[in-house]
Amino acid sequence: MRSVQVIVIGGGASGMMAAITARRCGAGVLLLEKKENLGKKILATGNGKCNFTNTMQSPECYFSSRKDFPWSVVKKFNWQDSVSWFQEIGILPRDRDGYLYPLSGQAASVVHALERELRRLGVQVHTGEEVLAVQRHNKNGAKGFAVTTDRGEYLAGKIVLSTGGMASPVHGSTGDGYRFAQGLGHHLSAPVPALTSLVLEGNFMKAWSGVRIQGKVSLYGDLKDGGRGQLQKDVSKKEGSSRKGKFLAAARGEIQMVSYGISGIPVFQVSRFAARELERDRKPVLYLDSLPDYGEEWIAAELLRRRQRDGMQSMGDLLEGMLPDKLAGVLLRQSGIKTAAAAEGISKERIEKLAAVIKGMRLSVKAASGFEKAQVTAGGVCVDEVDPDTMESLCCRGLYLTGELLDVDGTCGGYNLQWAWATGYLAGIGCSGGRLQKGGRL
């Protein structure tokens, strides 16, 4: 059985960062990755361009069952530290409104730079080797861990679990780390998909498939949810409900209508909350604002003006220039109005109802798209069981946990990679007995 000082399990973003940092601190490091190549998920980030961090950082960019935990970690290795660290290994940043990408515009540049640094430092890297079990090892007074893989067994003084969550299993994240962590005494907050599209109830979605708009989505909890939180008055009583459930989240930007539901970055941003509600057997509701730059009263007045100017035109024509045809048809049907109906035959009250639907079409969420489509996992190893200064387990000394494996997820825009760099850096220092230094120059 071969012995090594530190074994890092998982060759993704946080795992490579942990391995590099531990080696810079002088530790002997073995990095195990079950896929044939390192950094598979990094290659898929930012549409292959790798949005590796973001200059607009705040505690609100990260989510966890313990709200203060993510920020207490990220501020120890912040976005400026990430930029400096990557510049040192050859990655120059390109700033796009706070979203930082490699100047090359290629995610592969980031992966290759990390691989070169692993080689330069002499980190042992085994790809295509799957870890099957991790157990405590205590023999002849020597404490550590026994790691069993599909190729053999190892003994390690310290273990860094960087296996990722369950999102995007094609890139290697299949939840193995949860099993390892639980076997070593940890507990989980149920993992759910996040940064993903939403599947909607109904049969109207094929009619709007392919439409893209600049809109806003607002997510509310189940009205039957025992009255938790403040119930908010519906901005549109004409939609048939005087109240909405508990407000959960809202986001604005380019929204994509798809044949099974709704997608786009604003939907991704609220999806974690919808998935959590569904996991708890609740029924979240999404409200779609198709014209967020205009108020409901203004829209109603504009529609009435158009009707008065040309009452012979169809209701579909009445909405032309305001909304894409496919979406206009869906909104009209939602309002009980035929697309071909003459505008002069539609009452003021029905026009006002249409304006209300344009500002807040009610969409019942059936499901969050699964882990196969999700960019990240919400939930994971409970962070109350982890030291935020070192990422060391409080349940099992000598065990360190990083990245998406933990019950922390960030919003879309480089925040999940920033979390990976920060946790990997702190774990690398912690497992090797090094000291925290800004910028990662060890």
What percent of the chain has a predicted confidence (pLDDT) above 70? 93
Q: In the prediction, which pLDDT does 133 show?
A: 98
> Are the C-beta atoms of residues 162 and 12 closer than 8 Å to each other?
yes
> Are the C-beta atoms of residues 424 and 13 closer than 8 Å to each other?
yes
pLDDT level of residue 348 (50, 70, 90 thresholds): very high
Q: Does residue 239 surpass a pLDDT of 50?
A: no
Q: In the prediction, which pLDDT does 226 show?
A: 42
Q: Does residue 402 surpass a pLDDT of 90?
A: yes
Q: In the prediction, which pLDDT does 438 show?
A: 52
Q: Diameter of the chain by CA atoms?
A: 92
Q: Give the DSSP H/E element, type plus range, for residue 147.
A: strand 142-149
List of residues 6+ apart from 347 with CB closer than 8 A: none
Q: Give the DSSP H/E element, type plus range, for residue 281.
A: none
pLDDT level of residue 224 (50, 70, 90 thresholds): low
> Are the C-beta atoms of residues 256 and 245 closer than 8 Å to each other?
no
Q: Does residue 270 surpass a pLDDT of 90?
A: yes
pLDDT level of residue 222 (50, 70, 90 thresholds): confident
> Are the C-beta atoms of residues 38 and 115 closer than 8 Å to each other?
yes
- CATH class of this structure's domain 2-193+378-440: alpha beta
List of residues 6+ apart from 223 with CB closer than 8 A: 231, 243, 244, 245
Q: In the prediction, which pLDDT does 366 show?
A: 98
Q: Does residue 142 surpass a pLDDT of 80?
A: no
The domain limits of the chain are 2-193+378-440, 197-369
- The separation between the first and the last C-alpha atoms of the chain, rounded to the nearest angstrom, is 31
Q: Does residue 26 surpass a pLDDT of 50?
A: yes
Q: Specify the length of the chain in residues.
A: 442
Task: Tell me what the mean pLDDT of segment 404-408 comes to.
Answer: 99
pLDDT level of residue 399 (50, 70, 90 thresholds): very high
The tokens for 51 are 């949005």
Lowest mean pLDDT among 155-169, 244-258, 371-385, 426-440: 426-440
Of the candidates 79, 59, 56, the residue with the CA atom closest to the CA atom of residue 69:
59
DSSP 386: B
Q: How many CB atoms lie within 10 A of CB 403?
A: 34
pLDDT level of residue 390 (50, 70, 90 thresholds): very high
- Contacts of 434-441 spanning 24+ positions with Cβ under 8 A: 434/21, 434/22, 434/24, 434/25, 434/26, 436/76, 438/81, 438/84, 439/81, 439/84, 439/85, 439/88, 440/21, 440/24, 440/77, 440/81, 440/84, 440/85, 440/88, 441/84, 441/85, 441/88
Task: Tell me what the mean pLDDT of segment 124-145 comes to.
Answer: 91
Instruction: Classify each residue of 221-239 as buried b or exposed e, where b means 16 or more C-beta atoms within 10 Å of its C-beta.
Output: bbeebeeeeebeebbbebb
The tokens for 202 are 């109904």
**In angstroms, rounded to a whole number, what is the distance separating the alpha carbons of residues 223 and 374?**
27
Task: Tell me what the mean pLDDT of segment 47-57 comes to.
Answer: 96
Task: Tell me what the mean pLDDT of segment 191-208 comes to.
Answer: 97
- Higher confidence at residue 52 or residue 239? 52
Q: Give pTM, 2 decimals.
A: 0.92
Q: Does residue 138 surpass a pLDDT of 90?
A: no
Q: In the prediction, which pLDDT does 436 show?
A: 58
List of residues 6+ apart from 58 with CB closer than 8 A: 71
Of the candidates 211, 156, 202, the residue with the CA atom closest to the CA atom of residue 180:
156
Q: Does residue 406 surpass a pLDDT of 80?
A: yes
pLDDT digit string (tens) for 246-256? 999 999 999 99
Q: In the prediction, which pLDDT does 174 show?
A: 94
**In angstroms, rounded to a whole number, what is the distance separating the alpha carbons of residues 358 and 107?**
39
Q: In the prediction, which pLDDT does 141 show?
A: 65
Q: In the prediction, which pLDDT does 225 show?
A: 52
Q: In the prediction, which pLDDT does 35 show?
A: 97
What percent of the chain has a predicted confidence (pLDDT) above 90? 89
Q: Does residue 350 surpass a pLDDT of 60?
A: yes
- Higher confidence at residue 391 or residue 238? 391
pLDDT level of residue 55 (50, 70, 90 thresholds): very high
The string of DSSP letters for 48-97 reads: GT---EES---GGGEEESSTTHHHHHHTTS-HHHHHHHHHHTT--EEEET
**In angstroms, rounded to a whole number, what is the distance separating the alpha carbons of residues 84 and 90?**
10
> Are the C-beta atoms of residues 278 and 370 closer than 8 Å to each other?
no
Q: Does residue 333 surpass a pLDDT of 50?
A: yes
Four-point Cα dihedral 150, 156, 161, 162, nearest 10: -80
Class of residue 312 by CB neighbours under 10 A (exposed 0-12, middle 13-18, buried 19+): exposed
Lowest mean pLDDT among 33-37, 139-143, 171-175, 212-216: 139-143
Site of tokens 């640094």 = 117
Q: In the prediction, which pLDDT does 236 show?
A: 38
Q: In the prediction, which pLDDT does 439 show?
A: 47
Helices (H), 209-264: none
Backbone CA torsion sign across 177, 182, 187, 193:
positive
